Amino acid sequence: MYEDERKQKKFNNFYIPFGGKLDSKNRWVKLSKIIPWDRFEEKYEKTLAGTNMGCRAKKFRAALGALIIQKKLNSTDRETVEQIRENPYMQYFIGYEAYSNTRPFDASLMVTFRKRINEEMLNEINESIAVENVKKN
């Protein structure tokens, strides 16, 4: 089962229960703006074919975002999930609309994310980011 939500999360509306606002100059906020999340959502959705049973699948942004966080921090699956749980910037990066002190998903899902977002798709995403950056500069 999968619900498509292809709209960019609103930066100014990210809710932090203990007050304050996210800094637009934070590395995770800046990185979130250059990744073409919507462009690859459909391709990711196709990797879910035949999975209409069980729990609702995590969004592409959550899956790719978690993999990027893991790579940047060079962390284990469990540590990645804990880092995301503790950090509102990372939660914004993976598509949350508000901070939550609960684990975003079980660490075992990281294996599933790596299977669904394969090397070919990652190469396409990287190419797309590079092209967009050249256009902006």
- Quote the pTM value: 0.81
Tokens of 79: 């540590």
> Lowest mean pLDDT: which of 15-24, 76-85, 115-124?
15-24
Residue range 115-137: average pLDDT?
83
Helix (H) or strand (E) holding 53: none
Contact (Cβ atoms closer than 8 angstroms) between residue 60 and residue 41? yes
Dihedral sign for Cα atoms in the order 25, 28, 31, 37: negative
The pLDDT mean for the chain works out to 85
pLDDT for 31 equals 92
Contacts of 42 (CB under 8 A, 6+ apart): none
Q: How far is CA 123 from CA 31, 98, 117, 126, 134, in A?
A: 17, 30, 10, 5, 17
**Band (54; pLDDT cuts 50, 70, 90):** low
Tokens of 28: 């995770």
Helix axis angle, 37-46 to 60-73, nearest 10°? 110
Q: Report CA dihedral (48, 46, 118, 69) to the nearest 10 degrees.
A: -70
pLDDT in tens, 3-36: 655 555 565 666 676 677 888 999 999 999 989 8
Residue with tokens 């800046």: 30
pLDDT for 130 equals 86
pLDDT for 57 equals 83
**Band (50; pLDDT cuts 50, 70, 90):** low
